[in-house]
Amino acid sequence: MGIQLFVPTFRVDECLAEIRECLEKGWTGLGFKTVEFENKWKEYTGLPNAHYLNSATVGLSLALKILKMENGWGDGDEVITTPLTFVSTNHAIKYEGLEAVFADVDEYLCLDPNDVKRKISDKTKAVLFVGIGGNTGRLNEIVNLCKEYNLKLILDAAHMAGTRFSGEMPGKEADVVVYSFQAVKNLPTADSGMICFKNPDHDEICRKLTWLGINKDTYARSGEKGSYKWKYDVEYVGYKYHGNSIMAAIGLVQLKYLDQDNAYRRQLAYWYDANFKNVDRVKPIPIADNCESSRHLYCIEVNNRDELLLALNGCEIYPGVHYRDNTEYRMYSYAKGTCPNSHRLSERILSLPMHLRMTKADVDYVSQKVIEYTE
């Protein structure tokens, strides 16, 4: 099987016990475990609101939809974003009829505040910051820019479950934070996410939109007398975006171990760092000062990325690339050439295997082969 980039670890017996409770109770959908997981997530992060979703992608879409709707944005208004991310980040902007304006990245692979400032126009309404790999980058500077220019801030925290900055969960100053619990993330389920609005009114709207616009969900109605369960109103043309209790049951177990698991990821990163310390041709992507990263990724920069990738595959090592410069895709090609550092790094970065089943011997073997095959 070789050494894979990602291999999720589940506490199988505990997960099955939580799922069994759902099955025995006869409640597998919205409510029951989703409510419990939302409360646990608020307790864990310190964020004021949390709504459980079927993916982080719909979370980003909802974040932009609600901010657009509540702030009177029009079609074609601009959101400044990064080209170095999974396409779902930028598709979410397109979903809502907004325009993605790409700003370059810095040494952390996160948005460069200097280029963000250059890209602000009269049509700019928000900044979408991606904490790639669990890194906070220069998020504080982005927060200050948003305050200065009266822009909304959306934090794509898909990689940031468990990341801390100066001992605090990042995102408290953002208008909305979106997490991913997709199959290979640090807190894996089969697929799901969490959206955390700062404004409780936005959280309330979100809950209606994720359940087809209905103003009273099935769980809330379950305590009512049967004859009145159907008496609800439909306030919005909503969607079927909410999470379910089976996925939340898995999430509840995974959350108990998140800090412990992330600590081991940081240990893996420490071993990688030590192995590459005196190797000039392998440059690990740095972590921002005061950031205790979730270490979802361990990225390096090399000269011969594509050749190295093939050589490692030949040794049964299977790294990845996070990510291809999005302006290389046809729907974002209008911005090609506007973010030179992102494009340069996109051709040079490689994500090395990073998961809980790896040992120090695995890290040493991967490191040895990387050093052997880099130019």
Q: Are residues 73 and 147 in the same domain?
A: yes
Q: Are residues 39 and 57 in the same domain?
A: yes
From first to last of its 375 residues, the chain has per-residue pLDDT tens of 899 999 999 999 999 999 999 999 999 999 999 999 999 999 999 999 999 999 999 999 999 999 999 999 999 999 999 999 999 999 999 999 999 999 999 999 999 999 999 999 999 999 999 999 999 999 999 999 999 999 999 999 999 999 999 999 999 999 999 999 999 999 999 999 999 999 999 999 999 999 999 987 666 656 555 555 667 899 999 999 999 999 999 999 999 999 999 999 999 999 999 999 999 999 999 999 999 999 999 999 999 999 999 999 999 999 999 999 999 999 999 999 999 999 999 999 999 999 999 999 999 999 999 999 998
Q: Are residues 109 and 46 in the same domain?
A: yes
CB atoms within 10 A of CB 140: 16
pLDDT at 262: 98
Which tokens go with 46? Answer: 């310190």
pLDDT at 222: 64
> In degrees rounded to 5, what are phi and psi of residue 25?
-75, -20
The pTM of this model reads 0.96
Length of the chain: 375
pLDDT at 328: 97
CB atoms within 10 A of CB 274: 12
pLDDT at 216: 76
CA dist 368 and 228 (Å) reads: 67
CATH number at residue 182: 3.40.640.10
Q: Are residues 269 and 247 in the same domain?
A: no
Q: Are residues 244 and 273 in the same domain?
A: no
Instruction: Give the number of C-alpha atoms closer than 13 A to the C-alpha of residue 151, restricted to the C-beta side.
Output: 28
Q: Are residues 173 and 196 in the same domain?
A: yes
Strands 51-53 and 99-102: unpaired
Q: Are residues 302 and 215 in the same domain?
A: no
Query: Where does 188-332 have alpha helices with state H?
Result: 200-209, 218-221, 245-256, 258-276, 305-314
Q: Which residue range is the domain that position 76 belongs to?
A: 3-256
The order of strands in the sheet holding 283-284 is: 283-284, 299-301, 349-351
CB atoms within 10 A of CB 199: 15
**DSSP letter, residue 352:** P
Domains held by the chain: number: 2
Q: Are residues 324 and 242 in the same domain?
A: no
Q: Are residues 248 and 273 in the same domain?
A: no
Closest by Cα among 293, 357, 338 to 134 = 293
Q: Are residues 248 and 263 in the same domain?
A: no
- Residue where a domain stops, chosen among 256, 279, 296: 256
CATH number at residue 293: 3.90.1150.10
CA dist 120 and 16 (Å) reads: 49
- Residue where a domain stops, chosen among 256, 285, 310: 256
Q: Are residues 262 and 161 in the same domain?
A: no
Do the beta carbons of residue 276 and residue 282 sit within 8 Å? Answer: yes
Which tokens go with 259? Answer: 């800090």
pLDDT at 150: 98
Q: Which residue has the tokens 């997960």?
A: 15
pLDDT at 223: 58
CA dist 372 and 355 (Å) reads: 22
Angle between helices 56-71 and 200-209 (to 10 degrees): 120
CA dist 200 and 265 (Å) reads: 34
End-to-end CA distance of the chain: 27
Q: Are residues 78 and 185 in the same domain?
A: yes
- Residue where a domain stops, chosen among 214, 238, 256: 256
